[in-house]
Structure 1
Amino acid sequence: MPGSQTTSLLRKVIAQLRKRARVITLSDSTGAALTGRETLLRALVLRRLLRRTIAPGERNVGVLLPPTVAAAVTNLALALDRRVAVNLNYSLSAELVRFSIAEAGLRHVITSRTFLERMPVDLSGVATILLEDLAPRASLLDKAAAALLAFLPLPLSLLERLLGINDMPADDPMTIIFTSGSTGRPKGVVLPWRSIEANTGMVNALLQLRPDDVMLGVLPFFHTFGYTITLWTMLAMGVGAVFHTNPLEGRVVGRLLRDRNVTIVLGTPTLLRAYMRRLPPEDFSSVEIVAAGSEPLSGAVSDAFAVKFGIRPFQGYGATELGPIVSANVPASRALGDPSAGLREGTVGRPALGVRVQVRDAENGTVLGPGERGVLWVTGPHVMLGYLNQPELTNQVLVDGWYNTGDVVTIDDDGFITIVGRQSRFAKIGGEQVPFAAIEEVLATLTGGSEDGAPRAVVTAVPDDATGERLIVVHTALEESIEQLVAGMVAAGLPRLFIPAPADFHQIAVMPLIGIGKVDLESVNQFAHTAAAKRRTTSKT
């Protein structure tokens, strides 16, 4: 996107908050609820308070808050002051949180005493701003000045100039999102205003959002799914959102679904499995749309969810580096025209509005045709600026405005994308590529899910002198024997090369997850390598 272009995202947000002046727009499980006007007022007051605490030249500001009304208002206040919000991943280890703080050059982190008491995080070396301490500092002048801007019917162009948010370059950074760390040390993804604005338009085009829509926001703002869709999309497109801090607390989630008449649920397949186990069908009586991302959505999960709740989940696909959307199926309830034209099960849909994709040969970069397997490259207005402080890594994945997702896919004649797996989630056994996802799908059918929705078995690989690599299954306690699982994999038609040896099944006490309910693959790989090494040592003795 040319540097001369400016962002209109905040103009859209302010316009929608004015339209929803008396309509509940933000709410959460603590009982907090704000209308559109109250949301704008609170953000403007907080903006004034932060300007007295944080130096004008201090651009990057940390936020350590779960998804709540307070977190949403905080992010809005930072945006209205042209700061770069860095929502820190509190599910990471203390070492990785400190790494993220140092990498982003943070001097201040906005948090809450209540949150720190419940989830202590080591913030030594950085100044903390506690929201509970800020509120009493708001003077009558602060409240009066904010009220004038929030309540007076000023032209939007004048309000933008008064706030200093007019003519904001679309390529300016808006946020830094640290990758989850599920496959290693987190990388700081620098997303510009154009990325978040483009994504909000994509969601609206896919879901045909309505003023009476209410989104369930249980994904944290340190994840692009939560930050872009359940925060900025709802603000920019004029829909409601209700937040909760723990997506696995079924009883609370069910109450929010009922009490707030939620129409849109966004989550991971792990969360959907948990809701099937914990929530009664009536909790989903108002829900029209259930979208899943971040990990594969199996047909078995879709079938079971539809049987129980009467709503069939659909799958989308994205990446943090794209803020996050690449593609999605269109739910039948919101389709324009033939519902079957925008939805194809087993795929992650077609590219979203403004997104262009190519499948390229992993070895020589040749662009491949329909049905051919290769690596997915993506370009569009939503591509990141790069990885924070890592120009070499940025240049490896960004080439002439195209982003290398690292995902192996096929695209059919109608443009629907099917994910085969990540380049890093294949084993090369005897010269053949073996995708872990294909094995995991069969294992999921054979073992079911755990109480929290997490898979009972995850596949990885370790080096092997004879075949190059050897498949390893890391699993929690199982009702079936290993021999029964192996027999079930054979009966399911998996090729012999895809079936791990019984001795390569290793039990783990609890399947490690990251903050969004996704498997922590780095921890799984470490466990697998340790278990395989112990087995080799034992067999030698």
Structure 2
Amino acid sequence: MNGWQIALAVLAAVLVALLVMAIVSPRRFVRLPFRILLPILYRKRVIGLDNLPREGGCVVISNHLSWIDGILILWMLPRNVRFVVDGGNFTHPIAKYLGDAFDTIFMTGNPKSIGRALRAGRKALNDGDVVGIFPEGTLSRTGQLQAFKAGVTKILKGTEAPIVPMWMEGMWGSIFSFSGGKFFFKWPKQFRRTLTLYIGEPLPTKTPLEIARTRVQSLGARANIDQRKHYPILAKRMIRVWRRRGSELQAADSLGTEASGRDMLIRTLALRRTLAREVFSKDEQYVGVLLPPSVGGVVVNVALAMDRRISANLNYTVSSDVVNHCIREVGIKHVLTSERFMSKLDLDIDAEVVLLDSLAKKVTKMDKAIAFIQATLVPAWILDHVLGLSKIDGDDLLTIIFTSGSTGMPKGVLLSNANISHNVDAIERAVKLDTSDTVLGVLPFFHSFGYSVTLWAAMALGPRGIYHFNPLDSKQVGKLSEKYGVTVLLATPTFLRGYLRRVKPEQFAKLDAVVVGAEKMPKELFDGFEKQFGVRPVEGYGATELSPLVSVNIPPSRSSAVYQADRVEGSVGRPLPGIATRVLSPETGEEMLAGEDGMLMVTGPNVMKGYANQAEMTGKAIQDGWYVTGDIANVDDQGFIHITGRLSRFSKIGGEMVPHVRIEEELAKLFSEGDDDDQLRCCVTAVPDPKKGERLIVLHLASEKDIDTIRKGLSEAGLPNLFIPSRDGFQEVDAIPMLGTGKLDLKGAKEKAADLTQSPSSTA
């Protein structure tokens, strides 16, 4: 027998063996090609494998980002998993064979099929099998964890099987996920990606569904924390984004400045070089920035990032004492500003003030020439090394943002490159900002939302950024929006009220998405804005300590939801990808069920590194990796967060907790009844009371409304007597105390109330 005959015989024997295996042991036959192919395409890690019971029945539940999640989990686990799947996807004979090979439990939409699948699942658990469920019931279109369907609890009924939470990390961006807004027909973002399966501790059979969901979500947050150093370094990202923009407009402002992507990069590199030579010492870390939202403000912040320095955008709406407190807190030596802007401020700065107007004269022809060459000719990866950007670690600080000081002196929040980069990535997934967008930046850069979103996200994700220094200047906002075709507006309800009164509908003609935060959005403002401009705003939620974004409702025009809602009005949305929340009882620390109010806790790669020089305060704010927000909230059965108040915005009266926000909601309706604008007319605070602990005070603008009628209206709205301020608790003021960020000034309101009632005030 010659060589080719031997080879043919061997091949025939192999084929026969495979055929026999396909008939006798379908599972081994199907696993064989997967065991060969998947290691070529992916690297795998399993964390917490000891949490998977080695024997006996259990239900594994996991997030669902890609079409092949089930195959991947089967590849990564040592035990076979009998997945409950939609039988409609397995009608082809080959697909049916593959499913049968792993004893898959098929289920279709009709009641009989559902009943059979549930019975099969229970039998499998009682027989000691592992049953797998993707409880969201559909693939996530954003990476956010959606609501869990009740099938998990139904299968567990009548069994004692534990629930094993899991999280698959690494498939977002693959051709099998919905990244980029579509499945399959796209280039994968990376080849031979690393997949990590996180397995949590088993939960008792009767664990409430919402608690099981929280455990899965927490594993997702842990995965993203572990992966935080893989988020793009934003300074490096800007080089590539601005180069791609080229000669097209990248940024403009109300000062008349317009700059292309190439212009932005050249200016930034030239400024970086000049600052390093003329201003900074080699070891200088923190640099103060005192500039409004503008093209210049963007250039300065990015230049500092490219020079590996830590920016500290200072609040120019507060007193010199507060600004200098911030400067001392981190040892700022230089504050960058402009002569034109500084002349408008009544500030005495305890640091060396660097006027960028004067510094511009020190930019040499050599600086400009080198910046041009770097921006246009030097390959980006080489430029990364030349600038030292390759040395930046995700945990290195990018900025320090000082809190608003609404309840006391501002605290310096230390935010890393990974903190801000995660926010940018989450915005890209959820809100889908891209090169077709134009973002209006009216939020100051000393505000975490303005810094992370209107500066970094707007620049790094490719939209054009249009900036104006005064968010209350409605006429200029309207003009800029019309001139540049603004599509995305980020604001607060206070700012929207002004736009309703002074912006013409045609000026917001191209407006496509409006996201608001910082304060509760009343329904009347939702309705009024949509009626006038044809766009219904959505609410989001965040905190400076969280970089700042936690959650957002998806704007209707950006929604890709299928089968599950991604927007619930009255909520602040679901947590963004990589972020987990839970609600704990302030008294017992017990985790609350769906709809139950408690302290909102947040974890994820967005949690700050800490407060500057405040180790004790940091320890109180971050507990076991969870940030204590101070907000009272509940999470509904769909996973949407509802903020019902802030712990500091409750008064303890006669032993009962009285929410200020709930009273304000009803007062707003009563004070504005019959008026056609949405002006903020009142706020609720409290002063000490010797008998009941505290007394409610309403600060309100001048009104023809009768106070007794207002109090009667509160009662008719169903508020308990304890929630209704006394008649002398209503105090007229010239203006409601507000911060420059558009938030209510809680400290100022409390002090004003104390002055008006001659009661001693207390500050946090």
Which TM class, normalised by the smaller chain length? over 0.9
Q: Aligned in 2, Cα 1:452/1:174: closer, same or farther, shift over 3 Å? A: farther
Partner of 2:356: 131
Unmatched tracts of structure 1, length 5 or more:
536-541
How do 1:63-102 and structure 2 match up within 5 A?
A: 63-102=289-328
Partner of 1:530: 755
Opposite residue 698 of structure 2, the aligned amino acid is: V
Q: Choose from 663, 666, 688 the match for 1:442.
A: 666
Native 8 Å contact 2:241 2:461 kept in 1: yes
Native 8 Å contact 1:15 1:156 kept in 2: yes
The 10-residue stretch of structure 1 (482-491 or 393-402) with the greater mean CA deviation from structure 2: 482-491
**1 CA distance for matches of 2:684 and 2:271?**
47
How do 1:249-268 and structure 2 match up within 5 A?
A: 249-268=473-492
Query: Does residue 425 of structure 1 match 2:633?
Result: no
How do 1:388-407 and structure 2 match up within 5 A?
A: 388-407=612-631
SS of 1:341's partner is coil
Query: Does residue 512 of structure 1 match 2:759?
Result: no
Native 8 Å contact 1:331 1:339 kept in 2: no
- Deviation at 1:141? 0.9
SS of 2:744's partner is coil
**1 CA distance for matches of 2:729 and 2:229?**
55
Opposite residue 70 of structure 1, the aligned amino acid is: G
Native 8 Å contact 2:521 2:539 kept in 1: yes
Native 8 Å contact 2:228 2:605 kept in 1: no
- Deviation at 1:492? 2.0
- Deviation at 1:534? 6.6
Q: Aligned in 2, Cα 1:254/1:86: closer, same or farther, shift over 3 Å? A: same
**1 CA distance for matches of 2:504 and 2:665?**
26
Native 8 Å contact 2:698 2:731 kept in 1: yes
Query: Does residue 145 of structure 1 match 2:370?
Result: yes
Opposite residue 241 of structure 2, the aligned amino acid is: Q
**2 CA distance for matches of 1:200 and 1:257?**
23
Native 8 Å contact 1:512 1:524 kept in 2: yes
SS of 1:455's partner is coil
Query: Does residue 355 of structure 1 match 2:579?
Result: yes
Query: Does residue 484 of structure 1 match 2:709?
Result: yes
**2 CA distance for matches of 1:21 and 1:182?**
42
Native 8 Å contact 2:525 2:678 kept in 1: no
SS of 2:449's partner is helix
Native 8 Å contact 2:229 2:418 kept in 1: no
- Deviation at 1:514? 1.0
Partner of 2:213: none
- Deviation at 1:278? 1.4
Identity over the aligned pairs, expressed in percent?
44
Deviations 1:107-162, CA, capped at 9 Å, x for gaps: 10000000011223211x3111111111111111101111111011x433211001
Q: Choose from 402, 405, 410 the match for 1:181.
A: 405
Query: Does residue 21 of structure 1 match 2:249?
Result: no
**2 CA distance for matches of 1:328 and 1:134?**
41
Partner of 2:460: 236
Q: Choose from 347, 352, 356 the match for 1:121.
A: 347
Q: Aligned in 2, Cα 1:523/1:187: closer, same or farther, shift over 3 Å? A: same
Larger Rg: 2
Partner of 1:37: 262
Taking structure 2 as the reference length, what is the TM-score of the superposition?
A: 0.68
How do 1:83-482 and structure 2 match up within 5 A?
A: 83-123=309-349, 125-152=350-377, 154-338=378-562, 341-448=565-672, 455-482=680-707
Opposite residue 333 of structure 2, the aligned amino acid is: R
Deviations 1:180-201, CA, capped at 9 Å, x for gaps: 1111110100101111000001
**2 CA distance for matches of 1:80 and 1:464?**
54
- Deviation at 1:453? 6.4
- Deviation at 1:451? 11
**2 CA distance for matches of 1:236 and 1:221?**
16
Query: Does residue 57 of structure 1 match 2:264?
Result: no
Native 8 Å contact 2:239 2:375 kept in 1: no
- Deviation at 1:339? 9.0
Native 8 Å contact 1:514 1:520 kept in 2: yes
**2 CA distance for matches of 1:62 and 1:317?**
27
Opposite residue 129 of structure 1, the aligned amino acid is: V
The 10-residue stretch of structure 1 (263-272 or 441-450) with the greater mean CA deviation from structure 2: 441-450
Opposite residue 720 of structure 2, the aligned amino acid is: P
Native 8 Å contact 1:216 1:241 kept in 2: yes
**1 CA distance for matches of 2:323 and 2:561?**
47
Native 8 Å contact 1:4 1:169 kept in 2: no
**1 CA distance for matches of 2:542 and 2:266?**
33
Q: Aligned in 2, Cα 1:454/1:190: closer, same or farther, shift over 3 Å? A: farther
Native 8 Å contact 1:271 1:453 kept in 2: no
- Deviation at 1:9? 2.1
**1 CA distance for matches of 2:314 and 2:677?**
24
**2 CA distance for matches of 1:232 and 1:273?**
26
Native 8 Å contact 1:454 1:517 kept in 2: no
Deviations 1:64-112, CA, capped at 9 Å, x for gaps: 0011100110001000000000000011111101111111201100000
Opposite residue 478 of structure 2, the aligned amino acid is: G
Native 8 Å contact 2:671 2:703 kept in 1: yes
Which one scores higher on RCO, CA 8 angstroms, separation ≥ 6?
1
**2 CA distance for matches of 1:420 and 1:320?**
19
The 10-residue stretch of structure 1 (354-363 or 202-211) with the greater mean CA deviation from structure 2: 202-211
Partner of 2:90: none
**2 CA distance for matches of 1:338 and 1:166?**
40
The alignment's C-alpha RMSD in Å is 1.8
SS of 1:62's partner is strand
SS of 1:166's partner is helix
- Deviation at 1:372? 1.6
Q: Aligned in 2, Cα 1:325/1:34: closer, same or farther, shift over 3 Å? A: same
Q: Aligned in 2, Cα 1:266/1:235: closer, same or farther, shift over 3 Å? A: same
Q: Aligned in 2, Cα 1:355/1:4: closer, same or farther, shift over 3 Å? A: closer
Deviations 1:351-408, CA, capped at 9 Å, x for gaps: 0011011111112222222112110110111110101111100000111211000101
Partner of 2:104: none
**2 CA distance for matches of 1:324 and 1:201?**
13
Q: Aligned in 2, Cα 1:4/1:289: closer, same or farther, shift over 3 Å? A: closer
Opposite residue 255 of structure 1, the aligned amino acid is: K
